[in-house]
């Protein structure tokens, strides 16, 4: 099958391009339905005339239907999207890329989603859906799951299906922190995940960037101690990865702290720790949550992050973590290979 795909790419590459274009159109409609033709063209970055031609074809094949609110996917369309997903994965050579990254960074596993989230917004949906499917398959009874905040992790939880067969699962936020954007806070996502899998949860109502004096006082509170003890015994962690410079500013660090982070060579950030290109921790913020010594021993770490500009950050936080599963997009994956080479 793989040799046939490679042969097809060499002899009739335009067929592969057409297949990928139609797959992207179907996927975009699926994640945005009902959607109008003009919005679809804008999302895909292609002309309305081309979209019109492809829409007519897809409608004639009964993959989409067109109503007053816009276009939506039919049952046949959903089936073809699922079947095409693996096919697109193969013709793009993403299986080989997964193996190369897994071996180079010495990870537990790598899963690459076609596309780049900065070029196609639906790739973020696909990233979340893929991570949610993986999480669903690895959750066990009696698990303790730590979870960080962020838009990417929110996408994972939004795509998580309802589960009712899990017993005694506890979900806890991996970091404290209260902010304006409550829907992406670790507390909110921990509660949402617990509700979807019919588990229980604890909340960690502690602001970030506390002084050392305030931190030492809060840690002694019984409720905080109990939650941290649960977190320190987590056997699963779901987290996002950010660029060090962007995360430092997003977390509201002072200009002096941002400068310090840049001076020590930090390029990536995860769960409050900043890593350099060699994967060494060079800075950490004063926040209550997961400790690096506990994180290193967690049975399954699931890192979800995409976008070409995150490649260096992903390498810095993931290298040599043989208990870590990386779920990323094609844009980041290809850039990771370029950096490694």
Cβ atoms 102, 88 nearer than 8 A? no
pLDDT of residue 1: 56
> Which of 189, 28, 218 is CA-nearest to residue 120?
28
Residues 36 and 98 in one domain: no
The pLDDT assigned to 10 comes to: 67
Q: Among residues 99, 104, 110, which one has the least CA distance to residue 320?
A: 104
What is the domain range of residue 232? 94-340
The pLDDT value given to residue 97: 94
Q: Is the same domain home to 261 and 165?
A: yes
Is 114 in the same domain as 135? yes
What is the C-alpha separation between 85 and 96, in angstroms, rounded? 16
Arithmetic mean of pLDDT, 309-326: 93
Pinpoint the alpha helices (H) of the chain.
2-11, 13-32, 37-44, 48-60, 75-91, 94-105, 122-138, 151-158, 186-196, 212-219, 222-232, 244-250, 255-263, 292-295, 311-318, 330-340
CB 269 within 8 A of CB 243: yes
CA distances from 340 to 267, 315, 319 (A): 15, 9, 11
- Number of structural domains, the chain? 2
What pLDDT, on a 0 to 100 scale, did the predictor assign at position 5? 61
Pick the last residue of a domain from 91, 109, 129. Answer: 91
Tell me the pLDDT band of 7, cut-offs 50, 70 and 90.
Answer: low
Q: Which residue has the tokens 């994972």?
A: 156
More confident residue, 232 or 106: 106
Residue 129 shares a structural domain with residue 65: no
Shared-domain flag, residues 82 and 156? no
Pairing of strands 200-201, 236-240: unpaired
Q: What is the structure's pLDDT at 32? A: 87
Looking at the structure, do residues 155 and 46 belong to the same domain, yes or no? no
More confident residue, 63 or 286: 63
For residues 210 and 185, which has the higher predicted lDDT (pLDDT)? 185
| Residue finishing a domain among 40, 56, 91 | 91
Residue whose C-alpha is closest to residue 22's, from 69, 56, 66, 67 = 56
Confidence of residue 6 (pLDDT cuts 50, 70, 90): low
My answer on whether 41 and 26 are in the same domain is yes
Question: Regarding predicted confidence, which is higher, 319 or 2?
Answer: 319
Lowest mean pLDDT among 63-77, 125-139, 279-293, 323-337: 279-293
Do 9 and 69 belong to one domain?
yes
Q: What's 7's domain CATH number? A: 1.10.10.10
Residues 264 and 137 in one domain: yes
230 membership: H or E segment, kind and range = helix 222-232
CA gap 194, 186 in Å, rounded: 12
Residue 239's DSSP bridge partners are 303
């Amino acid at each position: 099958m793989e040799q046939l795909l490679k042969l097809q790419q060499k002899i009739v590459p335009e067929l592969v391009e057409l297949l990928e274009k139609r797959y992207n159109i179907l996927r975009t409609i699926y994640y945005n339905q009902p959607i109008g033709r003009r919005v679809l063209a804008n999302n895909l970055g292609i002309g309305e005339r081309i979209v019109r031609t492809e829409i007519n074809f897809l409608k004639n094949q009964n993959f989409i239907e067109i109503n007053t609110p816009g276009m939506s996917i039919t049952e046949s369309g959903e089936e073809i999207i699922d079947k095409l997903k693996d096919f697109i994965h193969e013709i793009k050579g993403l299986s080989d890329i997964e193996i190369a990254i897994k071996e180079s960074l010495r990870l537990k596993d790598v899963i690459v989603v076609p596309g780049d989230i900065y070029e196609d917004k639906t790739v973020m949906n696909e990233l979340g859906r893929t991570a949610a499917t993986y999480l669903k398959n690895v959750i066990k009874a009696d698990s303790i799951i730590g979870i960080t905040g962020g838009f990417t992790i929110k996408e994972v939880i939004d795509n998580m299906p309802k589960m009712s067969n899990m017993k005694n699962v506890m979900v806890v936020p991996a970091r404290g922190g209260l902010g304006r954007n409550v829907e992406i806070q670790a507390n909110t996502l921990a509660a949402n995940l617990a509700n979807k899998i019919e588990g229980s949860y604890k909340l960690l109502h502690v602001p970030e960037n506390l002084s050392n004096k305030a931190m030492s006082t809060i840690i002694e509170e019984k409720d905080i101690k109990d939650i941290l003890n649960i977190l320190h015994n987590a056997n699963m962690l779901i987290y996002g990865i950010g660029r060090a410079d962007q995360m430092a500013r997003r977390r509201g660090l002072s200009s002096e702290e941002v400068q310090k982070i840049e001076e020590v060579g930090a390029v990536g950030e995860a769960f409050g720790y900043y890593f350099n290109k060699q994967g060494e921790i060079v800075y950490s913020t004063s926040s209550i949550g997961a400790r690096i010594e506990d994180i290193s021993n967690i049975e399954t770490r699931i890192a979800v992050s995409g976008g070409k500009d995150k490649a260096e950050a992903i390498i810095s936080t993931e290298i040599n973590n043989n208990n870590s599963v990386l779920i990323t997009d094609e844009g980041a994956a290809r850039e990771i290979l370029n950096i490694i080479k």
